Structure 1
Amino acid sequence: MKSNGLFAISEKEFQDHIYSRKFLLFLGIILAVTIIGMASGSIQYNEQIEQYNENQAEIGDEISWGMFKPSVMTIFSGVGTLLASLGAILGIAMGFDLITKEKESKSLKILLSHPIFRDEVINGKAIGGIIALVAALAVTFLIAFATMLIFSIVPSGSEILLLVLFGFAAFLMIFSYFAISLFMSTVSKDSGSSLVYTLIIFVFLSSLLPVFVWGPTMDLITGPPPEFPEDAMMEMRAVAVDTVVVSASSDGEVSGYKDPYEDNEVFRQYQEEMRNYWDKRQMISDFINLLSPTNNFQYITSYLTYPQVFAQRDMYNSAIMPGEMQEPEEPGFMDIIGGIWVNLLSLIVIPVAFFSAAYIKFMRLDVR
């Protein structure tokens, strides 16, 4: 009985979504913009490939920092920007009234009076929404692939893996906002309040959170940066100038000058404090950004689109001397996973947390 009830509710919710005007409206907008974006991106990709081949023919085997072979993910980066906004709104539109509409129509009380368990209701609504989201993303990506093939762009095996990973991240991002809206629908009295609360959370997570990360709020958390030891530096410069004057040879050449910053304990301590300050600031910033599904998805999209840039950045940050740096190798699939696994984990934890909260609230809901 329990599994039959769950299946029936899931099927009903799925059908309600795919026949809903708001679902079809947002899906139509997403598909239209996807086709336009993919067509434009495909043209630019072909131009980038031609330019890359010309540059490679000119420089030969020489190392050229910052010159990477374009990936088909550059075409999907524009689609990622689209999904970060319209996709999130689609998830919100699908979930903000799932429970409140049942309360407002008094059908929830009638539904629970049947031989059906409460967990079947909330789980069935979530499963129906998930299947509808998967169907919408599947249609979107099929059209995107078709558009790409029209322009004679065939992705390699490794690029297909990146596209699958991109699609998985897009689903998690949209499902995150679906779970948030489902939670708000559970705790709100009516659909209007649920929509308003969900949109407030969406705007905060997608737009206002970066302001908190880089604005005065971050300065309050981390405090002011270490002060530059100006007095000590002036004394060292004066000693260095005196050394130059004393050690100058008769023909005017300087033989005893010493850099005042070299082997200086005060300056090394200042550098260490400044490095620790910015590391702390970056760590707090990264943690706060993990709370936003939009920021996580945008970071994943950027990483999948330009993995060589991130590899080059990491190599530059870890190099002691510039001469020790070498051209970074092409990152493998597991290397890319290693660079984004924290963001993927966050995209899993956020919807799970909100759905769990909605589940607990619904199981304790007083239906009268």
Structure 2
Amino acid sequence: MTIDLSRVAIIARKEFADHLTDRTFLLVLALFGILTVLSLEATLTSYASMMRSYEFLLERALERAAHADPSPLFPLPTPPPPLAGLIFQRIGDTFGIFGPLIAIAVGFNLIAGEREEDTLKVLLSRPVYRDEVITGKTLGGVAVLAFASAAVFALALGGVLVAGLTVTPHDAVIVVRCWGATLLFLLAYFGVAVAFSAFSEDSGRALAWTMAVFILFSTVVPVVAVDVARTVAGPAPPWPGADAPPDEVQRYQEEMHVHAATYGGVQNMMLALSPEGNFGVMRGALAGEDLAASLGGVWQNLIGLLAFPAIFLAVAYVRFMRIDLR
């Protein structure tokens, strides 16, 4: 049996159009737009304050350096981070909190809603195969999430331009990186919602089970990750004191480095089980200057973010192919 891509495209377009005309979805998207504007305004205000502080400290540092001995290097203040990375990291914070809700809203009634309204039997009575139906509906949902997240990022980018700020090609690359990570994050909970939608006979149960999984991974797993990391790393080495010999201070610094590396490694490994944990680590990496170097330390988080929707969507596919609609 071969999938007819034209039929898949028709189903995907219908699913996409149904969501874009749904008042609940449009309301959630409008709320995201409002949150984006508020976040953008707060970020621009904060960045302007950081720039004024940096310019003030830099001016004072240069004045002091001009009257001091020019032989040693005079310490200069650290400049603020790139504005684009800061803005879209804040947008990522908004998606990290509210993004799963829009993903769940798109996916929880994808199949259960059709069964609840007895429209799935009518759909499958047409000359269309089950794998074409689930593939088309899934692609339609993915397209909706891609459109919604891209619209929010485009709104933020437009706000930056309206504010009179210059967007460099590197800034545009950062935007695309952050949008890609955000879409993967949304797809994680979309996959969960579709899987429970396939196993549930009504949309209410699908929503309840999906929200339970969302609470588990968004709140329980991060808390457990901290507890496990603290247990494995053990207590931090005690500070030897300000008057300690240099060798003791050096030993303390080495022990602290090992402790911090152990704690961070265990916590990051545990957070790889959570879409929120993976998304949080990825946001910080993708906002950096060197993508290859940034991803080198978070490859397991990228794999986790890719595997999460893949596993749940595969489960949804298998379940849908075996649903008894009699």
Q: TM bucket by the smaller chain?
A: 0.7 to 0.9
1:72-111 → structure 2 map (5 Å cutoff): 72-111=84-123
TM-score for both structures, normalised by structure 1: 0.74
Residue number in structure 2 paired with 1:357: 315
Aligned residue type for 2:188: S
- Alignment partner for residue 138 of structure 1, among 145, 150, 153? 150
Structure 1 counterpart of 2:269, from 287, 293, 305: 287
1:8-49 alpha-carbon deviations (Å, 9 max, x no partner): 110110011111112101101000111121122122223322
CA drift at 1:302: 3.1
**SS at 1:30's partner residue?**
helix
Preserved CA contact (<8 Å) 1:45 1:70: no
Alignment check: 8 A CA contact 2:233 2:262 kept: no
- Residue 151 to residue 278, structure 1, CA distance change in 2 (3 Å): closer
Q: Give the structure 1 partner of residue 299 of structure 2.
A: 341
Distance 2:169 2:56 in 1: 25
CA distance in 1, matches of 2:92, 2:224: 24
**Identity over aligned pairs, percent:** 29
Distance 1:181 1:49, change over 3 A: same
Unaligned 5+ segments in structure 2 are 63-72, 239-244
The structure having more radius of gyration, on CA atoms, is 1
Deviations 1:298-352 (A, max 9, x none): 22223445x4xxxxxxxxxxxxxxxxxxxxxxx4332223344332222111111
C-alpha contact 1:48 1:70 (8 A) present in aligned 2: no
Q: Is the 8 A contact 2:285 2:295 kept in 1?
A: no
Partner residue in 1 for 2:58? 56
- Closer/same/farther in 2, CA of residues 53 and 207 from structure 1, 3 Å limit: same
Q: 1:279 to 1:75 in 2, by over 3 A?
A: closer
Q: Structure 1 134/102 Cα, relative in aligned 2: closer, same or farther at 3 Å?
A: same
CA distance in structure 1 between the partners assigned to 2:219 and 2:77 by the alignment: 33
Query: Where does structure 1 lack aligned partners over 5 or more consecutive residues?
Result: 229-258, 308-330
The answer on whether the counterparts of 1:104 and 1:190 sit within 8 Å (CA) in structure 2 is yes
Which shows bigger deviation, 158-167 or 175-184?
158-167
TM-score (norm 2): 0.83
Residue 112 of structure 1 pairs with residue 112 of structure 2:
no
Whole-Å separation in 2 of the counterparts to 1:223 and 1:77: 29
Q: Partner of 2:4 in structure 1? A: 2
Does residue 166 of structure 2 align to residue 127 of structure 1? no
Superposition RMSD in Å: 2.9
Task: Tell me how many residue pairs correspond in the alignment.
Answer: 306
Q: Distance in 2 between matches of 1:19 and 1:181?
A: 20
Deviations 1:191-245 (A, max 9, x none): 1111011111111111121111123x6677x4966999xxxxxxxxxxxxxxxxx
